[in-house]
Amino acid sequence: MKPKGKYAWTVRVGEKGQIVIPKEARDLFDIHPGDTIVILGDKRRGLAIPPQELFKHLANSVFDEEDEEGEE
């Protein structure tokens, strides 16, 4: 039995390094043709594809903190 809210898919990397996001994943995460996907990488931990809105929120909070520190 898989944990609730956890998913796993396999994809094949094409000759040009492209992958196809499985339809179930695209539907689940509301991904459409033309959308921008953020891919994060860590040599030890691997790749992560966070939802773009979550990444925007994280990036905004990091840059907002830097702006506030520079204003002191």
Q: What's the pLDDT tens digit per position in 4-28? A: 889 999 999 999 999 999 999 999 9
For 1-72, give the CATH class.
Answer: mainly beta
CB 9 within 8 Å of CB 22: yes
Is 39:19 a contact under the CB 8 Å cutoff? no
Query: pTM higher than 0.85, yes or no?
Result: no
Name the one residue in this structure whose structure tokens are 């931990």.
45
Distance, CA of 3 to chain centre:
20
Neighbours of 49 (CB within 10 A): 15
pLDDT digits (tens, 9 = 90+) for 41-64: 999 999 988 877 777 787 788 887
8 Å CB contact between 19 and 12: yes
- Contact criterion met (CB below 8 Å) for 11 and 21: yes
